[in-house]
Amino acid sequence: MCRACERNDVMPSSNPATKRVKQSLLGDAPSFLVSSRFLRTRLLVYSAARFGVAAAIVAGAWFAPHVVGIEQLPVRGLHILAALLTLVNLVVFGTLYWGAWDRKDSYLHLMAVMHITVGLDFVFLTVALWLVGGAASPFASFYILNIILAAMLLPREGVFFQMLFAYFLFAGMVLSQWLEFAPVFTPTGAIVSDTPINGRYAVTVLTVQAILFAVTALLVSEISAALKKGERALSALNDELEQLSEMRRDFLHVVTHNLKAPAAAATMLLETVETLWTKDVSDNARAAIARARLRTQELGELVQDLQQLTALESGALRKQEQPVSLNELARKLAEAYQDPASRKGQRIELELDETLPHINAVPRLIHEAAVNYVTNAIKYTQEGGQIILRTRAEDNVAVFEVEDTGVGIPPEHVENLFGEFVRAPATVSGKRPPGIGLGLSIVKRIMEYFDGRVYVSSEEGKGSVFGFALPVESKAQEK
């Protein structure tokens, strides 16, 4: 077993932030479409819609006789129906809104509420239909709408049960109207004729509605079942991808942990060799050691970059957030990199907005992002050039920019510059600066982690401006 695997600081094999988000969305459900949260939300939406239906019944009871001219409409009966619908729906809405639905058995209870409310909807619809003409009323098509709504959420057997219940209510209304078991309401204008229905009409209506009910329930439930099956498959695939991502993250952590110390030691030894060598050592030997030192330094930088990536993906950095001053960061960087810039005859200048508020972030990560911009500016700016570190406030965000008078970037390469292992084909004094193309992608990851953004503007041969912007009161996103 590797030494890193035995240490306590090995990266955990799961992303807590991802699990928290998934738990809040799905609970114990296998997918979102069959989760308690989704079902409760839809039930609340349908409950709110019922209040609108009750209001529409009251408004229609006034509008129909006074504006349209419909006569013999049982207004009082419609008002009573609207009142009962409102009272029942108040109980349903209150139960859904204030009830505790975060338990493991919440989904089953919500499905029971769904069955009850759908059944009550069919009862209220049947009574409303009876009051406005019965079998001859044009409002009979609302049965189809209710079946469609039920089929979107209920399992297939539940859909067919509700469809049969709705048909039982409709058939009972038609038969009672035909056999005159109950009073018949025939509001003039709401139906074509006030002539009592006969047996042939009753059989025809019942047959047509039976076909419509069955076909609608079958087709919509098939589509709904296919969507749920596909969503479960996507959820399972996402879980598998998350596991693979965790394995990759753990592997990178172990590899970088085991490479960091040897790379640093090799670089130190090569620097010591260069320092201790006497003057009679050949130029070829010096060049070989210099190349070896450069390559080990690049290896160390790669290891550091990979460590940053694994840290960002782990979601374990939120506890390290604290107020960060971009102005103070710019001053420290200008001082720290003044000597490397001076060796190339470059000048580092500051343009700071002293009113800039602090941001909330992990100081080490923001420092890493800013350092990447500054070191790139030094590498890609010719001798005697100028580098400006700038801060400013803009639309509730704090902006940090590094402007240089370097070689610039061809327009066709600017768009993909923040991708992983992407490097612009720029040369300085005929040589391409060292690097592996991970730095800018890490800057982008850092900014996205804190809900920020990165940007670049460049003109080939004249220089570039690299910047990032962070909300002044940023909270790291759940990643």
- pLDDT tens string 30-73: 455 567 888 888 899 999 999 999 999 999 999 988 888 888 88
Burial of 194 (0-12, 13-18, 19+ CB in 10 A): middle
Burial of 185 (0-12, 13-18, 19+ CB in 10 A): buried
CATH class of 320-471: alpha beta
Q: Is the per-residue pLDDT at 27 higher than 70?
A: no
Closest CA to 57 of 91, 81, 23, 90: 81
- pLDDT tens string 365-401: 898 899 999 999 998 898 899 999 999 998 889 999 9
Every domain of the chain with CATH number 3.30.565.10 lies at 320-471
CB 25 within 8 A of CB 32: yes
Global confidence as pTM: 0.56
Which pLDDT value is given to residue 428? 62
- pLDDT tens string 299-321: 777 777 677 767 666 666 677 78
**Residue 9 CB coordination number (10 Å):** 7
Say which residue, 151 or 84, is predicted with more confidence. 84
CB 131 within 8 A of CB 124: no
Q: Is the per-residue pLDDT at 445 higher than 80?
A: yes
CB 169 within 8 A of CB 123: yes
Confidence class for position 461, pLDDT limits 50, 70, 90: confident
Which pLDDT value is given to residue 158? 92
Closest CA to 30 of 230, 221, 222: 230
Which pLDDT value is given to residue 254? 76
Q: What share of the chain is helix, strand, coil (3-state, %, to 5)?
A: 65, 10, 25
Which pLDDT value is given to residue 267? 81
Collapse the DSSP code of 400 into the 3-class scheme (helix H, G, I; strand E, B; otherwise coil) and give the result. strand
- What single-letter DSSP state applies at residue 325? -
- The alpha-helical segments, DSSP class H, found in 277-325 are 283-314
CB 436 within 8 A of CB 298: yes
Confidence class for position 2, pLDDT limits 50, 70, 90: very low
- pLDDT tens string 138-172: 888 899 999 998 888 888 899 999 999 999 999 99
77 phi, psi to nearest 5 deg: -60, -40
Q: Is the per-residue pLDDT at 354 higher than 80?
A: yes
- pLDDT tens string 225-281: 888 888 788 878 888 888 887 777 777 777 777 777 888 888 888 888 888 877 777
Q: What share of the chain in percent tops pLDDT 70?
A: 85
Measured distance CA(94)–CA(82) in Å, rounded: 18
- pLDDT tens string 193-234: 667 788 888 899 999 999 999 999 999 989 888 888 887 888
- Sequence length of the chain is 479
B/e letters for 432-446, b = 16+ CB within 10 Å, e = fewer, are ebebeebbbbbbbbb
Q: Is the per-residue pLDDT at 437 higher than 90?
A: no
Say which residue, 342 or 410, is predicted with more confidence. 342
Closest CA to 450 of 317, 262, 327: 317
- The alpha-helical segments, DSSP class H, found in 133-276 are 142-153, 156-179, 199-276
Write out the two tokens for 29.
């459900």
Which pLDDT value is given to residue 13? 37
Mean pLDDT score of the chain: 83
374 phi, psi to nearest 5 deg: -65, -45
Q: What is the DSSP string of 409-474?
A: --HHHHTTTTSTT------BTTBPPP--S-HHHHHHHHHHHTT-EEEEEEETTTEEEEEEEEETT-
- What single-letter DSSP state applies at residue 11? P
Confidence class for position 8, pLDDT limits 50, 70, 90: very low
Which pLDDT value is given to residue 432? 64
Pairing of strands 463-471, 397-404: antiparallel
Q: Quick one: CA dihedral 390, 391, 394, 399, positive or negative?
A: positive
